[in-house]
Structure 1
Amino acid sequence: MHHRQLGPFTVSAIGFGCMNLSHAYGVPPSAEQGERVLRAAIEQGVTLFDTAALYGFGRNEELVGRVLKPHRQDITLCSKGGLAGVPDASGILKRVIDGRPDTIRRNCEDSLRRLQTEVIDLYYLHRWDKAVPIEDSVGAMSRLVEEGKVRILGLSEVSAATLRKAHAVHPIAAVQNEYSLWTRNPEIAMLAACRELGVAFVPFSPVARGFLCDAVHDVGSFEAKDIRRAMPRFEPENHARNLQLLPPYKALAREAGCTPAQLALAWLLHRGDNVIPIPGTTRVEHLREDLAAADLRLDANLVGRLDALINQHTVAGNRYSEQSNREVDTETF
């Protein structure tokens, strides 16, 4: 496994996003299957694991904590707060963005308990609560560092301007935003800001929520709780247009001697030494496929043709619904 630097940590060049094991894409796999995937990731040399209080309303952290506890000293463990499940009047958990200092502290302490660890290596603000100054939320997170509950800080789904404000309060080691061939928003300002400030950039959804794996052909088959149902790019008309990108894309993958998923990940790794993608999967064979992308070398001509084929001008539909776009702070084209 190749390695990259994330703050003070040397981590695998490709990390593992644990969300899929408990959350987001319909009925999650069994706990036993989740354990198999996590153990396989360890065996394959993955040292960067990413979870959050939100995923499965804590169940993902419990799974990750239980399985990875014996390997705790050998991995960089990341989680997120400021977005979690809160019971409503009837006791049903609802996702709530809350960046108030007391909430961030409570989220962190809950995560520490579920993860069965005394310290979280990298703790992200999952969403910026726009009702709370970013300086207040990051200030609360900095106190967690001072107390030894967290080692370094990160932000998720933010703009370059918000990163700079936060970084002035306490050094930010990583930003986690969506980035892939079909989501280019970080190229507006975030990638440059991260390079300037010495911040690692951690792309989530690096294979476009399965699209760039050539795994999404029938959007009508999505399960009821699959979050892609609410994403404009997967609406039937937009999806039909986007499917036209796949044949030439797969041809480029064949030319590179790799799978479509590996090409998407290799493209990201070529965006800069500070870029560390975190693909997720529920299957061991897909995990191994993803990790092999770290060995690929793409020539400039192939990268140029990829850029021209799939970008913000050729992809149909927004990445998020209007409601979801209001919840994030990332730049848009």
Structure 2
Amino acid sequence: MSAFFLKERDLVAFLNKLAKTTRVVAPVAKRGRFVFAEIGSAAEVRLDYDVTILPPKKVFFPPAQRIVTFDAESVSDCIDPVETVLFGVHFYDVKGIDMTDLLFRERNADRDYLAQREATTIVASSVQSVSPRAFWGSIGSSVKPKGHDAFLTKVDGGYVLEIVTDKGTALFAKAGFREATSEEIAAAKRANADRMTECAETLPYDSDAVAAKVRDAFSDEALWDELSNDCFSCGSCNTVCPTCYCFDVRDAWNLDQTSGTRTRYWDACLTREFAAITQPGGHSENFRAHHSARFRHRFMRKAAYLNDKLGGPACTGCGRCSAACTADIADPVRVITAIMERAS
């Protein structure tokens, strides 16, 4: 793995040149918060952000995505990947992307997701500001981030750029950055290690122990009623989560009533409609009619059901769900701690 050193002005020049020829998506400021958005110049980029409103999975899995168009004679897919550089992704979101990569690749691989994923080069960056609800320093620490093509770490005087894949090599091949010294590489490692201790919230439990206790708590109705009592079933925690991947599919017909478009939209298992089904004869049923059942399902998925498949919890510790929850009850630290303390 090669490593380079660059000053701030070098990074600015590189991004300005890149943005002229390539779609670059990076963290930018928006109304006092941060979002991933397409940039036109380096001046827009904010590598000092704490956390973005939505995770960068939206680059490959947009909130609304046309899948096919159809008419009376044919069906055509809408796969149209655009070469993209996704720049400035924090390591916890790299973990989230790695998880959705696995989930969208297994069994019947999702061509729409994978087409844009494979057309994207990911440049991760070090955390410079820690979100007040983050707990990524204490969750899934044994699961190393992977899936990025290069990693940029802020150090004194500039940045250390580590190249991880051939994609990363190709992106920076003509940048002209000098090789990093061993001291600069060591400084980058220290900076990233030190940042891991700065989260205000912690979840100091082994993931296997958590998975077992969460499963054991499944039938504790009183516990789930208590934990979810103030839930509005709004689904905000699902919407901002980097590892939620459920979607709904809807057809929209044109006025000719013979052609139309099929689009998929992000769905949310906390909403009442998510588990509503229609049975033969037109009868309806909701197999998670109460909000406590939906709340429980979310934590079963994140903390237990997906552990074996992902090698750890389906949670990155980003803290987005905690910040987005109107009732302030979605915090995984609060919920998991309550389960662990009740079970002990």
Q: Which interval holds the TM-score relative to the shorter structure?
A: under 0.3
Whose strand fraction is larger, Structure 1's or Structure 2's?
A: 2
More helix by share: 1
Q: TM-score, normalised by structure 2?
A: 0.26
Instruction: Please tell me whether Structure 1 or Structure 2 has the larger radius of gyration of its CA atoms.
Output: 2
